[in-house]
């Protein structure tokens, strides 16, 4: 059976990682959340107080960063890969509002993108890969077999993210989440290096009124058709 590379890009909090995980499990592919890599760098900056260095000497920052290991490990229980920094599982720590509020500014820095894209392209695609992010179909894997672009209304996205964070026990305000989502979209779409764009050959999916199962059905149809070709 052919193994595909599936690129999922789109606006913030459109459920890219939820659908990507389901697709990876269904087809037995590797799932990589590229956003969590930019979040890991942001966490590294926060934990080590490196914002000033990042702004004043990017080369030295990259040198320090390269002595830090950022990698994914497969979790056999949940059947997904989780992100580790220096062998510590940081899945929880990277998904706070503090990280979300800084990450897009950091992800706009070309030198940091170059490092992350290198790591992303190192992944063995022979097993089949689902990768989600902002530049996967345009920069990381322009040759992807399937490109998807997910979007949804601002309010639906903010409500989903808000519910998710409340469930995790975080104390957040709906308005802060809505503002964060809008700001990130603006920064991601307007940056000079690898801005968020809808590729000509991408399937555009507005999931404002779709359940996760609706999306799984639509996307599985696209994949199954490709597998038959």
Closer by beta carbon to ligand C5P, 75 or else 221: 75
Question: Looking at 82-90, 127-135, 148-156, 164-172, which segment touches ligand C5P (CB under 6 A)?
Answer: 127-135
Closer by beta carbon to ligand C5P, 109 or else 228: 109
Helix axes 97-107, 174-190, angle to 10 degrees: 10
Q: Which residues of 187-220 are buried (b: 16+ CB within 10 A; e: fewer)?
A: bbeebeebebbebeebeebebeebeeeebbeebe
* Whole-angstrom distance, CA of residue 40 vs CA of residue 32: 13
Q: Which of 166, 18, 36, 34 is nearest to 89 (CA)?
A: 36
Question: Looking at 59-67, 68-76, 80-88, 129-137, which segment touches ligand C5P (CB under 6 A)?
Answer: 129-137
Q: Please give the torsion angle defined by the CA atoms of residues 180, 181, 187 and 189, in that order, rounded to the nearest 10 degrees.
A: 180
Q: Which of 27, 31, 38, 149 binds ligand C5P (CB under 6 A)?
A: 38
Q: How far is the CB of 195 from ligand C5P (least distance, A)?
A: 9
Considering only residues 50 to 79 of the shown chain, the ones binding ligand C5P according to CB under 6 A are none
Q: Which of 22, 188, 202, 219 binds ligand C5P (CB under 6 A)?
A: 188
Q: Is 133 in the site for ligand C5P (CB under 6 A)?
A: yes
Q: Which of 200, 144, 218, 205 is nearest to 11 (CA)?
A: 205
Q: Is 121 helix (H, G, I), strand (E, B) or coil?
A: helix
* Whole-angstrom distance, CA of residue 89 vs CA of residue 13: 22
Q: Is 39 in the site for ligand C5P (CB under 6 A)?
A: yes
Q: Which of 103, 112, 148, 158 binds ligand C5P (CB under 6 A)?
A: 103
Q: Is 128 in the site for ligand C5P (CB under 6 A)?
A: no
Helix axes 110-121, 97-107, angle to 10 degrees: 100
Q: Is 12 in the site for ligand C5P (CB under 6 A)?
A: yes
**CB of 92 within 8 A of CB of 169?**
no
Q: How far is the CB of 124 from ligand C5P (least distance, A)?
A: 19
Q: Is 34 in the site for ligand C5P (CB under 6 A)?
A: yes
Contacts to ligand C5P by CB under 6 A: 12, 34-35, 38-39, 103-104, 107, 133-136, 184, 188
């Amino acid at each position: 059976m052919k193994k595909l590379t599936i690129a999922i890009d789109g606006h913030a909090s459109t459920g890219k990682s939820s659908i990507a995980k389901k697709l990876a499990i269904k087809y037995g592919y590797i799932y990589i959340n590229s956003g969590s890599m930019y979040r890991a760098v942001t966490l590294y900056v926060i934990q080590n107080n490196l914002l000033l260095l990042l702004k004043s000497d990017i080369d030295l920052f990259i040198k320090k960063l390269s002595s830090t290991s950022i990698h994914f490990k497969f979790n056999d229980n949940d059947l997904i890969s989780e992100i580790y920094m220096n062998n510590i599982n940081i899945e929880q720590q990277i998904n706070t509002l503090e990280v979300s509020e800084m990450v897009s500014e950091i992800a706009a820095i070309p030198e940091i993108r170059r490092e992350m894209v290198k790591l992303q392209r190192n992944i063995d695609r022979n097993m089949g890969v689902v990768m989600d992010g902002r530049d996967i179909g345009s920069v990381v894997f322009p040759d992807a077999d399937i490109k998807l672009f997910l979007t949804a209304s601002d309010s639906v996205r903010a409500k989903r993210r808000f519910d998710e964070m409340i469930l995790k026990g975080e104390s957040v305000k709906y308005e802060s989440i809505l503002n964060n989502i809008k700001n990130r979209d603006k920064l991601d779409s307007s940056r000079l290096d690898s801005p968020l764009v809808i590729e000509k050959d991408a399937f555009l999916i507005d999931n404002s009124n779709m359940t996760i199962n609706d999306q799984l059905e639509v996307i599985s149809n696209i994949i199954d058709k490709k597998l038959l070709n």
